[in-house]
Structures are given as structure tokens and as C-alpha cells.
Amino acid sequence: MRLSVIILAAGQGTRMRSLLPKVLHRLGGRPLLAHVIDTARELKPDSVHVVYGHGGDQVREALADSPVEWVEQADQLGTGHAVDQVMPRIAGDSVVLVLYGDVPLITAATLAPMIKQAGRGKLSVLTAKLDNPSGYGRIIRSANGKLVDIVEQKDAGTEQLRIREINTGFLAAPAGLLRGWLQKLDNRNAQGEYYLTDIVGMAVDDDVPVESATAADTDEILGVNDRVQLAHLERVYQRRLAEVLMRAGVSLADPARFDQRGELEAGSDSFIDVNVVFEGEVRLGERVRIGPNCVIRNATLGDDVEVFASTVIDDARIGNACRIGPFARIRPETELAERVHVGNFVEVKKSRVAAGSKINHLSYIGDTRMGAGVNIGAGTITCNYDGANKHVTDIGDDVFVGSDTQLVAPVKVGDGATIGAGTTVTRDVPAGQLTLSRCAQKSIEGWSRPVKKKP
Ligand code: UD1
Ligand code: MG
């Protein structure tokens, strides 16, 4: 059986009040449409077609890498018209599955049985029972419970408006039959649109069985029309991701205050405190502890790493048993070997730090190669930028750098060197010696403080 998926995404989304096309608004850091395309691909279809209209160029550009076919619907004349735009590209012996670019949480598990039904020559419609069915098309069943029609809210009578079973919009049909039905659609209805839903009545007339399917969870069928609904679905989505993590052996202080915007892999017995944001691709080892209010982006953290509150780690590799933060910033292209300590108000950029080195307080380390067992005193700064170019600071093993030292790059510090506090290092520092640049301390005997003059 061949499968073609059609994703409708031509609507304008006026209620978002946004210049951005609706399907490009983000859920879990990715466009709504990207989620739907992913779900479509899970079903291993022969083709995926996206019907676009409003903001089309922007949508195509944002998802240029997606393996989909783009079909333009210049005027939005209705859902039936939208699907019909794709039919010339679909083989008659396929099954067609219709998805929506603004209904991002639908799962492959819900859709698979519908595809099976359509594969057996039936029309399959995904329905749901809602406490508040307002706005949706209503499912009309015959006395013996058969699905016989769908009536849009705006075309429904008072009795029909009381029906709580609604049309989610998702359907699957044999392509040959669907093509014939779409050709017969008209727009004589309250909205003057070509309704996809009218094919149900046609299937009944043609004695084609109409089956209904249901989603395990009603959140799956919810669409995004405004930012309130988007925020609701974001929480539902985050809750799903949080549950996957927790079931994999990771503890979350509060799954309601967890945000994953990308891929996150985590070893067992790790702990994530509240309000941590993960972005891009993040991998955590085992027994990692992340404190509250951290942002971790495109990073790999080894086993037993501890990240304390309010730390930002961006595009970095952190070795086993490192301790970072609170209030530390690890910037791109940083590699910390095992057991490195980076403390409060320390910024590390594009630097490699070998095992067991400590940069515990108020320092800037940039463009630096640092050996093992180094101790960097509070307030140390690598002066890596001369106003035009960046230069490297090279620090050997077992170096001790006194507090408030400036290392004016390019500069090299030999193994085992000690640098006195307050030193401005402008030339290479020899191994194993004490180096300092400091005026001799003096005291002035008999000196007295100035006294405030009387007015
Ligand atoms: C549609 C269904 C309704 C169902 C509801 C579920 C029809 C006639 N009605 O109504 O039974 O309960 O969805 O949300 O199908 N779109 C296009 N091109 C168009 C028109 C729509 O691409 O010409 C896209 C929109 O971008 C949107 C989707 O199709 O993603 C649904 O369109 P919308 O106008 O919102 O349909 P509803 O009136 O909500
Ligand atoms: Mg709608």
C-alpha cells in the first residue's frame, strides 16, 4: 500500500496577531509545521505534501531542508479545495492521510489505524467527544450509530449543535475515491467554502464504509489558533518530554517547570532542578545534577557533573565530575576535562582546561590552553583581545596564578610557575619560579588623613 500525506497549512492564522505565518510559531523550539512533518515521516509515507498559501515563501524558506513537496493554494477556498490542489500528484492506488500544520501533537499511534482502514477501501475520520464542542464540525450518526455526515458549526441546527462528538479534521481515504468526491464538492454553505467534510455524505451515498477513530488523548487533536492555545500545547508537549525523561531514570524537581527545546539525552540518576532550559542537542551523563535556572545549549556533560544555580553553558564539552557555577558562563568551543571547577561569576570562552584545574571566582578565561592541576586566583583575566585580534594564553600544568592577575596574550606560563597576586603578565613566565610585577610596598610614617574644612 502506498501512502501520501497531505498537510494543510495555507490558512492565515489572523488570531495569532503576528507577521510570522502561524505554522512557523514554535513549540518546543521548533516550528509547529516541523512537528507535523516529523509525525508524517514516522508513518513511512511515499510522499508528504504541504499545502501552503499565506506567508508561503517564509514557510518554505524556514523548512527548506524538509523532505516534502510544496503545493501552493493561492486562494483559500476551503479545506476540500486545499486537498484537491494535491490530488493530481497522487497515484490512484494510494491512501491519502490529511494532517494540519497547526495541530502539532497528533501521534503516529493514533493515525496508523486510520491508514489501515483506508487501506481496506474505507473512509476513516478521527473524531473526539468534547465537553465544549463549540466551533467544530459535528459528527452526525444514524440510529444504528453509523457515521453518516459532518455538519459545520455555522451550518448546524439547534439540535445538531448539542452533539458533543466533533470532527477533528484528520481523515484517511483511498486516493481514487477521494479524487472523485473532491470533484463533486460545491461551496453552497454558510461560509461559501469547499468543505472537505462533505465527502462523508458522498461516501455514504456510494456505500463506502465510513469508520471513526479516536485519539488516546484529546490534546492530540487541539489546534493552535491563538497564543493562549499555543502556550497550552507547549505545556502539554513539555509534559510529554518530561515524562519520557523521568521514565528513563531522570528526576525532575518539577515537570511543570522544565523546558526542552531540542534533543536531550540523559543518563540515569541525574537530577534536574526547576526552570532549566535545554536547547539544541544536549547530552547528560549519569548522576548529573543541574541546579535551578540554568540554560544548557548544545552541550555534552559527563558523568557526575554538578552545575549550580543560574549557570549558562553554550556549545561546550564538560568532562566527568566537573563542578560549575553558581552564576558561571561557559561559552562556545570550551572543553573542560574531568574534575575542573568553575565557580561564581567566571566566564570561560573557547578554552581547553585540563583535569582538576580550578577557576573558582570572578575570572575571564578566553582563548586559553590550560594544563592540569592549575589554580586560578580570584579576578584573573586573560587579556585576549588587543582591540583588533584575539591571542592565545598558554598555561602549563600545576601553575598557581595569584588573584587579580592579568595575562596579556599572547603569553605562555611554564609548568609549575607561581604568579604573585596583582601581576600584569606581559612576557612569558618561566616554569617553576615565582613571577610578580609589583611596586614594593611602602608606608609613610607620620602621615595623617585630611580633615574636612569648616565652612
Ligand atoms: C475544519 C473542519 C471542521 C473541524 C475543524 C477542526 C472543514 C470544512 N471543517 O473547520 O469540521 O471540526 O476543522 O479544527 O474542513 N486550510 C487550508 N486552505 C483552506 C482552508 C483551510 O490550508 O482553503 C487549512 C487551515 O490552514 C487550517 C485547516 O486547513 O490549518 C483547517 O481550516 P479552518 O478554516 O480552520 O477549518 P475549520 O473551520 O476550523
Ligand atoms: Mg480551525
**Opening angle at CA 89, ends 83 and 92, nearest 5:** 90
Go through 139-175 and write b for each residue having 16 or more CB atoms within 10 A of its CB, e for each that does not: bbeeeeeebbbbbbbeebeeebeebebbbbbbbbbbb
CB 96 within 8 A of CB 90: yes
Could you say which DSSP state residue 218 is in?
A: G
Q: How far is the CA of 225 from the centre of ligand 2 (A)?
A: 7
Which residue among 49, 76, 79 is best mutated to probe the pocket of ligand 1, counting the most ligand atoms within 8 A of its Cβ?
A: 79
Given a cut of 80, whether residue 6 has pLDDT beyond it is yes
Q: How far is the CA of 22 from the centre of ligand 2 (A)?
A: 12
Q: Rounded to whole angstroms, how far apart are CA atoms 31 and 393?
A: 42
* pLDDT of the residue at 55: 81
Please give the mean pLDDT across all residues of the chain: 97
What percentage of residues in the chain have a pLDDT greater than 90?
Answer: 97
In a domain, 380, yes or no: yes
> Nine-digit cell at 158?
439547534
CB 370 within 8 A of CB 395: yes
Is 51 a pocket residue for ligand 1 (Cβ < 6 Å)? yes
Reported as a single tens digit per residue, the pLDDT across 132-148 is: 999 999 999 999 999 99
**Opening angle at CA 359, ends 358 and 364, nearest 5:** 155
Note whether 197 and 240 are same-domain residues: no
Is 150 a pocket residue for ligand 1 (Cβ < 6 Å)? yes
Note whether 132 and 265 are same-domain residues: no
Reported as a single tens digit per residue, the pLDDT across 260-280 is: 999 999 999 999 999 999 999
Give the model's confidence band at 171: pLDDT under 50 very low, under 70 low, under 90 confident, else very high.
very high
pTM: 0.93
Query: Among 392, 371, 396, 372, which Cα is nearest to 382's?
Result: 392
Note whether 40 and 135 are same-domain residues: yes
- What would the mean pLDDT of 340-356 be, rounded to a whole number? 98
Atom of ligand 1 nearest to the CA of 195: 8
Is 223 a pocket residue for ligand 1 (Cβ < 6 Å)? yes
Task: Let me know if 361 is a catalytic residue.
Answer: yes
* pLDDT of the residue at 222: 97
In a domain, 445, yes or no: no
Q: Rounded to whole angstroms, how far apart are CA atoms 414 and 397?
A: 8
Note whether 31 and 72 are same-domain residues: yes
Note whether 277 and 134 are same-domain residues: no
Could you say which DSSP state residue 374 is in?
A: -
CB 300 within 8 A of CB 318: yes
- What would the mean pLDDT of 89-99 be, rounded to a whole number? 97
In a domain, 454, yes or no: no
In a domain, 168, yes or no: yes
CB 137 within 8 A of CB 130: no
- What would the mean pLDDT of 297-301 be, rounded to a whole number? 98
- Cis peptide, bond prior to residue 174, ω within 30 of zero: no
Reported as a single tens digit per residue, the pLDDT across 177-234 is: 999 999 999 999 999 999 999 999 999 999 999 999 999 899 999 999 999 999 999 9
CB 103 within 8 A of CB 193: no
Is 18 a pocket residue for ligand 1 (Cβ < 6 Å)? no
Main-chain phi, psi angles of 253, to 5 degrees: -60, -40
Side chain identity at residue 450, one-letter code: P
User: Across-strand partners of 69?
Assistant: 49
* pLDDT of the residue at 204: 98
Which of 179, 200, 221 finishes a domain? 221
Which of 170, 203, 221 finishes a domain? 221
Closest CA to ligand 1's atom 32: 79
Main-chain phi, psi angles of 260, to 5 degrees: -120, 115
In a domain, 360, yes or no: yes
Note whether 347 and 364 are same-domain residues: yes
Note whether 143 and 85 are same-domain residues: yes
Note whether 168 and 55 are same-domain residues: yes
* pLDDT of the residue at 13: 87
CB 96 within 8 A of CB 70: no
Q: Give the residue with greater pLDDT, 216 vs 113.
A: 113
The ligand with the least distance to the CA atom of 99 is 1
Note whether 49 and 165 are same-domain residues: yes
In a domain, 291, yes or no: yes
Which of 164, 188, 221 finishes a domain? 221
Note whether 180 and 286 are same-domain residues: no
Which CATH number covers residue 13?
Answer: 3.90.550.10
Is 104 a pocket residue for ligand 1 (Cβ < 6 Å)? no
Q: Rounded to whole angstroms, how far apart are CA atoms 68 and 173?
A: 20
Q: Rounded to whole angstroms, how far apart are CA atoms 224 and 12?
A: 12
Is 169 a pocket residue for ligand 1 (Cβ < 6 Å)? yes
Note whether 321 and 421 are same-domain residues: yes
Go through 424-444 and write b for each residue having 16 or more CB atoms within 10 A of its CB, e for each that does not: ebeeebeeeeebeeeeeeeee
Query: Among 221, 226, 193, which Cα is nearest to 13's?
Result: 226
In a domain, 441, yes or no: no
Separation in Å, CA 46 to CA 93, 343, 406, 411, 455: 12, 53, 62, 60, 93
At 199, which helix (H) or strand (E)? helix 199-205
Note whether 266 and 402 are same-domain residues: yes
* Residue range of the domain that includes 268: 227-435
Is 81 a pocket residue for ligand 1 (Cβ < 6 Å)? yes
Q: Rounded to whole angstroms, how far apart are CA atoms 174 and 41?
A: 19
The ligand with the least distance to the CA atom of 187 is 1
Q: Rounded to whole angstroms, how far apart are CA atoms 167 and 369?
A: 62
Atom of ligand 1 nearest to the CA of 167: 12
Give the model's confidence band at 380: pLDDT under 50 very low, under 70 low, under 90 confident, else very high.
very high
For the chain, the domain total comes to: 2
Given a cut of 80, whether residue 54 has pLDDT beyond it is no
At 82, which helix (H) or strand (E)? helix 79-84
Which CATH number covers residue 322?
Answer: 2.160.10.10
> Nine-digit cell at 177?
475515491
- What would the mean pLDDT of 404-427 be, rounded to a whole number? 98
* pLDDT of the residue at 159: 96
User: Across-strand partners of 341?
Assistant: 323, 358
What percentage of residues in the chain have a pLDDT greater than 70?
Answer: 100
Go through 258-274 and write b for each residue having 16 or more CB atoms within 10 A of its CB, e for each that does not: bbbbeebebbeebebbe
Atom of ligand 1 nearest to the CA of 11: 26
In a domain, 396, yes or no: yes
